[in-house]
Amino acid sequence: MQCAVNSKDKITAQLKRFGGNVRRERMASGKTQEWLAEKSDLNVRTLQSIEAGELNILITTAARIQKALGCDWDKLMET
C-alpha cells in the first residue's frame, strides 16, 4: 500500500504544479479567470478548481487551456 499512497501524493503535487503554472501564465498575460474559462470552453468554477490543483483534467482540457493562453507546453508543465 505504500506505493499507492506515494503515487497519489505525486499526482496531487503534479496537479497543484500544473494549476499554479496555469494561474501564473494567465496572470502574466493580464487575463482574468472569466476570460480564460470562456476561451477554454470551461466554466469559471472548473477553472478555479484546476488552478487550485483540485481537479484532475483530461489532456484535451489542458490543450484548450494551453491554446487559449498561447504559451508553450513547457510553461504549463514546469516543475
8-25: per-residue pLDDT in tens?
899 999 999 999 999 999
* High-pLDDT (> 70) share of the chain, %: 94
Cβ 69 vs Cβ 22: under 8 Å: yes
Task: Please tell me the distance from the alpha carbon of residue 69 to that of residue 71, in angstroms, as a whole number.
Answer: 5
The label of the residue with cell 474559462 reads 37
Q: Is 72 a residue whose pLDDT tops 70?
A: yes
Superfamily per CATH, domain 2-77: lambda repressor-like DNA-binding domains (1.10.260.40)
47-58: per-residue pLDDT in tens?
999 999 999 999
Task: Please tell me the distance from the alpha carbon of residue 65 to that of residue 22, in angstroms, as a whole number.
Answer: 8
Q: What is the predicted pLDDT for the residue at 6?
A: 78
State the average pLDDT over residues 32-45. 98
Task: Please tell me the distance from the alpha carbon of residue 14 to that of residue 43, in angstroms, as a whole number.
Answer: 22
State the average pLDDT over residues 60-66. 98
Domain residue ranges of the chain, discontinuous segments joined by +: 2-77
